[in-house]
Structure 1
Amino acid sequence: MHLQPTLFDHPLPITSELIPGLLYLPEFITPLQEQDLLARIDQHPWDTSLKRRVQHYGYRYDYTTRNVSPDSWLGPLPDWLFSFSQHLHQQSLFQSPPDQIIINEYLPGQGISAHIDCIPCFSATIASLSLGSACVMEFFNPSIKKRIPVLLEPRSLLIVSGDARYQWLHSIPARKTDLYEGISFTRNRRISLTFRNMIIHHKG
């Protein structure tokens, strides 16, 4: 899969003064790259133990304990995910290539509850690539009681670090339509790829 060589080929990144540490990169990949990724993802088996289907790569995340262990290593990333992880690192979006990836399928009406990604498990930067349908993700800061919607468009990359990573919960409301800046749109099938780096705690 050919990747765009530099961030300068993309539309200008968008930052949020309201959510420090949030970076939004629209059209991070091309429509052809999106279709290639979707085809590759659907060639792999899905885990159906949750209400939504998921795939785990690198390390398996335990939704029961909300934790991930070095013992849960699943083996090397497939080539297509390895090259994308390398690309994120080469663009200086990560200090090292992400080694833990979760792929989520969201059908219309499905969502995910408000949460902060496991702090002891994962490092300071997390990225999410959106494929297929657009949706609205809500960020909520309980200390200031503020809720902010963020539109995630197809082919966009959302990056959270700093306050956006550690102070703001994020969620996707379980609904079939979204309203954003006065415009209502119907959700279709959406695939998200979440890229993270494991924090390995060595014993002894």
Structure 2
Amino acid sequence: MATAFPDLRDKLRAGSGGVGSAGECGEGGRKRRAEPASEGEEDEDEETGVESPGADEVARKVQSGVLQARPFTDSECERIEACIDDVVALAERGAYKVRTVDRAPLRNKYFFGEGYTYGSQLVKRGPGQERLYPRGEVDPIPQWIYDLVIRRLEERRIVAKGFVNSAVINDYLPGGCIVSHVDPIHIFDRPIVSVSFFSDSALSFGCKFSFRPIRVSKPVLSLPIAQGCVTVISGYAADEITHCIRPQDIKARRAVIILRRTRINAPRLDPSCLPELPDHLTNRVRRPDKRESPSVRRSSHRKASPYEAHRRRVLAMDEEADKRALVLRTPPYPDGTREHRSDNSPPRSKRPRH
């Protein structure tokens, strides 16, 4: 597929499906030019305050590898969002294979078609160490993604017919993020296609993250992404610079469907080398009777709460915060006690030991 990529870009530019250049899918679907962070612009998350030389040129290179469109109507977005809610509910009931669902605070991932190791799952850290799971370790791509999303992108010539064999749903709560990264070049062909739902956000390029507390440097380019917007990245934007979602850009629940194709020669784990499952998944039992219905129609108007999917992690974080707050509320006094008393009251006399 790599040799056919330039032709696909030409097709995207020439297509009549409303595909535009970077920044044409801003708030509410209105055209809006993506601007690189201007020189000297104040940013409370900026680490250095000094923009690297040639930042404008880098931003232009990024823009040359980004195409955007909004091929979905508001009603179509609502229908797709209802299907995403169904995925969340099915995952909560244990209807998916254990490696289909990857939970993190304020962000859940659902792998369909193909899954792969990344981050803390890697036996050996570093770029190029990611591996596809053995076939069958994650659930197949749901039919509604083919019917409601992929087919529309194929009709608009945004992706080639039969290109997609991997779909990932990232479901973010406010303040969620994904750190700077490059989609593994040895795993995924180009282009990388994503479709955003539920709320507006931004895709940032060239940021650096630091933690405890989390801070993000000024991006080389911040690309506005509206609800229902399709973003296609390739070339420099996909391969030569990192991209991320910053915490400050997730102000409301947001979900994104990432559509990719795995390379034919992508390295794949041997079944005997699968990484251990996280503790919260080791005792999970799949219920095969609770499989997803092939129909894209909903049987109920009730929506699954995405907050339930993050409930366990958030409660654990709140519990830890309460413990810290309790210690801070009862500081030690000069005599070593932690009892609560007024400033003028004498310290309690210690009882002598016999």
Indicate whether the TM-score tops 0.5: yes
Question: What is the CA distance between 1:80 and its match in structure 2?
Answer: 1.3
In 2, the alpha carbon distance for the partners of 1:56 and 1:159 equals 19
**Residue 199 to residue 59, structure 1, CA distance change in 2 (3 Å):** same
1:191 aligns with 2:255: yes
| Residue of structure 2 in register with 1:57 after alignment | 112
In 2, the alpha carbon distance for the partners of 1:146 and 1:31 equals 30
From the two aligned structures, give the one with the greater helix fraction. Answer: 2
| Residue of structure 2 in register with 1:38 after alignment | 81
Of 77-86 and 161-170, the range deviating more from structure 2: 77-86
Output aligned runs, 1:81-100, within 5 Å. Answer: 81-83=145-147, 84-95=149-160, 96-100=162-166
Question: What is the CA distance between 1:126 and its match in structure 2?
Answer: 0.5
Post-superposition CA distance 1:47-78 (Å, at most 9, x none): 35322112111112323237342624435422
In 1, the alpha carbon distance for the partners of 2:182 and 2:73 equals 29
In 1, the alpha carbon distance for the partners of 2:108 and 2:197 equals 15
| Residue of structure 2 in register with 1:71 after alignment | 134
| Residue of structure 1 in register with 2:184 after alignment | 118
Preserved contact between residue 89 and residue 97 of structure 1 (Cα < 8 Å) = no
- Which residue identity does 1:29 align to in structure 2? F
**Residue 41 to residue 159, structure 1, CA distance change in 2 (3 Å):** same
Output aligned runs, 1:138-153, within 5 Å. Answer: 138-140=204-206, 147-153=220-226
| Fraction of identical pairs, as percent | 22
Preserved contact between residue 129 and residue 194 of structure 1 (Cα < 8 Å) = yes
Question: Over alpha carbons, which structure has the higher Rg?
Answer: 2
- Unaligned residue ranges in structure 1 (runs of 5+): 1-6, 179-185
- Unaligned residue ranges in structure 2 (runs of 5+): 1-14, 24-59, 92-100, 123-128, 209-217, 268-354
- Which residue identity does 1:82 align to in structure 2? Y
| Residue of structure 2 in register with 1:109 after alignment | 175
TM-score where L is the length of structure 1 = 0.78
| Residue of structure 2 in register with 1:182 after alignment | none
Preserved contact between residue 204 and residue 219 of structure 2 (Cα < 8 Å) = no
Give secondary structure in 2 for the equivalent of 1:124.
Answer: coil
In 1, the alpha carbon distance for the partners of 2:102 and 2:163 equals 28
Preserved contact between residue 15 and residue 24 of structure 1 (Cα < 8 Å) = yes
In 2, the alpha carbon distance for the partners of 1:132 and 1:125 equals 24
In 2, the alpha carbon distance for the partners of 1:48 and 1:146 equals 27
| Residue of structure 2 in register with 1:22 after alignment | 66
Preserved contact between residue 16 and residue 156 of structure 2 (Cα < 8 Å) = no
**Residue 39 to residue 201, structure 1, CA distance change in 2 (3 Å):** same
**Residue 53 to residue 146, structure 1, CA distance change in 2 (3 Å):** closer
Question: What is the CA distance between 1:170 and its match in structure 2?
Answer: 0.4
**Residue 8 to residue 62, structure 1, CA distance change in 2 (3 Å):** same
Preserved contact between residue 77 and residue 197 of structure 2 (Cα < 8 Å) = yes
In 1, the alpha carbon distance for the partners of 2:150 and 2:165 equals 8
Post-superposition CA distance 1:10-34 (Å, at most 9, x none): 4x61237442211121x32111111
TM-score where L is the length of structure 2 = 0.47
Preserved contact between residue 59 and residue 68 of structure 1 (Cα < 8 Å) = no
From the two aligned structures, give the one with the greater strand fraction. Answer: 1
Q: How many pairs does the alignment contain? A: 184
In 2, the alpha carbon distance for the partners of 1:23 and 1:97 equals 17
| Residue of structure 2 in register with 1:183 after alignment | none
Say what the alpha-carbon RMSD is for the aligned residues.
2.7
Preserved contact between residue 54 and residue 102 of structure 1 (Cα < 8 Å) = yes
- Which residue identity does 2:186 align to in structure 1? P
**Residue 99 to residue 68, structure 1, CA distance change in 2 (3 Å):** farther
